[in-house]
Structure 1
Amino acid sequence: MGVSLNDRLNKMSSVIDTRNKKIDEMCEEVVRLSHRVNSIEREISSINQTNAEFHESLQGISNVFDGIKEQVDKSENEFQNMKIKLDAMEAKVVHYASKRENEIEELIEKNEELTDQTLDLRCRSMKYNLIFSGIHENVPENTEETLRGFLAEELDIDYDIEFTVVHRFGQKNNKRNRPIVAKFIYQRDLDYVLQCAYKLKGKTFQINRQFPDEIEQARKSLYPIMKELRRKGETVKLVRDILYVNGRPYDPEDSGPAETLKYPQRTPSRYGSSSNKRRRINSTPEKH
């Protein structure tokens, strides 16, 4: 019975030791769990802090984007205002350019009118002028006496024609005789000299009316046309830079003389204008 109690006590003691050992193990496990919980809490705290910082960063980014959007909206408004101003300026520039273009066209037109008027005045100032070419030039010489001798010897004009001025023009050249220009006082004398010019046929002398260079160039371009029309039997007359065919101005766009009065062949404008404005002309050719 005593042995049995000891056995029981030993057994109970063994059980208690086992349980104490389990309790110790459980305590150790609790400690480990506690450490793990603390570690998890620290991780959660860190995550929370990171999350807070992230949210703070997001808020900062949101604020930046809000600022950018505000700047974009402001820039867009400024752009629209600038576009409105530019459109207004463009309209003003177009209006100003159109106005200036009209003014330039008016100035060109006035310049052309002045050019025509000046050319007309120059033609009028040369109306009583004849150019004599091929007359021998003496050095020295009295040019008027030389011309009178030519008129008497070559044209059989035996009376004294009155001149306003007689002189040679152009640079002196020993290899050729400079032309003589003579301004007549009376139209009848000039006409008579021209009537007698047929006596120079086959000789080296020439008598021509004097015209400004612009008119002279236009006349030169009309000479072949005039020659061809005469060959065809047409009645042609060249007055200044206008070619008359059967009494009407020649139209270069037609194969023959113009049926109606159209723009005559004339000196091109020095300004290059393609204006169709018609120059004043006589309805019939002049008698010279």
Structure 2
Amino acid sequence: MEQKTRPTKPPAKRKRVQSKSSKGALDSSAILSMSQTTSSNSGSCNFSATIPSQIPNPFSVVSQQPHHYQFQQSTSPGINMFPPPPSSYSYSSPPPWMAELIKKVDDLGTKMNSVDDIKSSVNSIDSKLSQMKSDVDCLVRRVGDMEGSQQFISQSFEKNKSDVESIATEMVELRSINKEISDQLETLRCENLRDNLLFFGVEEGEGEECVDIIKNICSTSLSISEPVEISAAYRMGKKGVGKTNSDNTQTTKSRPIVAKFMIRQQRDKVRKKFS
């Protein structure tokens, strides 16, 4: 019978010791492990290692000279002696490129503040522009209303102008008609006055009949035998108060009598008698 071979385990991998920390600097534990490994192989040895300094301050630089430490392992097993790391570091002024970088950062901060101010100013201008836009829209609406009103006023003005022109034309026509009527009235008045005669100095009495008085004057004073036809006779003007006599009696001033003859030949005959 064949014997079953037992599977052998692979040799365990030796854990790799990290010689750098997470920050990228050499780890002292790795150096100690390396020292122990070397001492276990060769008993004791002397070697020097360079340990970089800590991360420098951005405003200071650590001296670039490396520190040499003397490591010596004791011959006694299990005891390793190492000197403590130096506590003093030499610092110097920042390099020019660092100062220039800091200056640029400060300038950038100032510019950022200026940008914030500009942004606030732009926001303020934007709000003002929005307000101006609303005001302009309101003005546009008002101008549109005013244009509509102006158009209505223009139309009304044109209509009124045409009405005034027509009224002026009618007024001219009416004036010509009025003048014609006035001329006709004047002609009629003159024609009417041609049949009238005025009699002055005729004594005025109460309850008199002017027609009878004129007929009596024509028949007695003017010796006109034919009967005179008179259509109307009346006193002209308002009755006034005369002078007071010595016996305290008042005499009234006689008003003239207007007599209208029906026949013009009789009127002319009476007129000739008086002349």
Paired letter, 1:52 = K
Percent of matched pairs sharing the same residue: 19
How far has the Cα of 1:100 moved from its partner?
A: 1.4
How far has the Cα of 1:61 moved from its partner?
A: 3.0
Give the aligned CA root-mean-square deviation in angstroms: 3.9
Rounded Cα–Cα distance in structure 2 between residues aligned with 1:162 and 1:37: 138
Retained in 1: the 8 A contact 2:233–2:260?
yes
Q: Which of 120, 123, 132 lines up with 1:53 in the alignment?
A: 120
List alignment gaps of at least 5 residues for structure 2.
Answer: 1-66, 68-85, 243-251
**Aligned residue for 1:20?**
89
Q: Secondary structure at the match of 2:175?
A: helix
**Aligned residue for 2:260?**
183
Distance 1:94 1:146, change over 3 A: same
How far has the Cα of 1:196 moved from its partner?
A: 1.8
Distance 1:97 1:140, change over 3 A: closer
Deviations 1:129-180 (A, max 9, x none): 2221222223454433432343345534344312223332322233421111
Paired letter, 2:131 = V
Indicate whether 1:106 and 2:173 are aligned.
yes
**Aligned residue for 2:270?**
193
**Aligned residue for 1:232?**
none
Structure with higher helix content: 1
**Aligned residue for 2:215?**
148
Distance 1:86 1:143, change over 3 A: closer
Indicate whether 1:97 and 2:164 are aligned.
yes
**Aligned residue for 1:131?**
198
Q: Secondary structure at the match of 1:166?
A: strand
Q: Normalised by the size of structure 1, how large is the TM-score? A: 0.48
Retained in 2: the 8 A contact 1:129–1:183?
yes
Retained in 1: the 8 A contact 2:261–2:267?
yes
How far has the Cα of 1:22 moved from its partner?
A: 2.7
Retained in 1: the 8 A contact 2:230–2:262?
yes
**Aligned residue for 1:252?**
none
Retained in 1: the 8 A contact 2:218–2:228?
no
**Aligned residue for 2:249?**
none
**Aligned residue for 1:162?**
229
How far has the Cα of 1:99 moved from its partner?
A: 0.9
Rounded Cα–Cα distance in structure 2 between residues aligned with 1:86 and 1:196: 75
Q: Secondary structure at the match of 1:20?
A: coil
How far has the Cα of 1:113 moved from its partner?
A: 3.4
**Aligned residue for 2:239?**
172
Q: Secondary structure at the match of 1:170?
A: coil
Rounded Cα–Cα distance in structure 2 between residues aligned with 1:80 and 1:139: 80
Deviations 1:55-86 (A, max 9, x none): 22232333334444444555444444444433
Q: Which has the higher contact order (CA 8 A, sep 6+)?
A: 1
User: Larger C-alpha radius of gyration, 1 or 2?
Assistant: 2
Rounded Cα–Cα distance in structure 1 between residues aligned with 2:141 and 2:223: 99
Q: Secondary structure at the match of 2:91?
A: helix
Distance 1:76 1:166, change over 3 A: closer
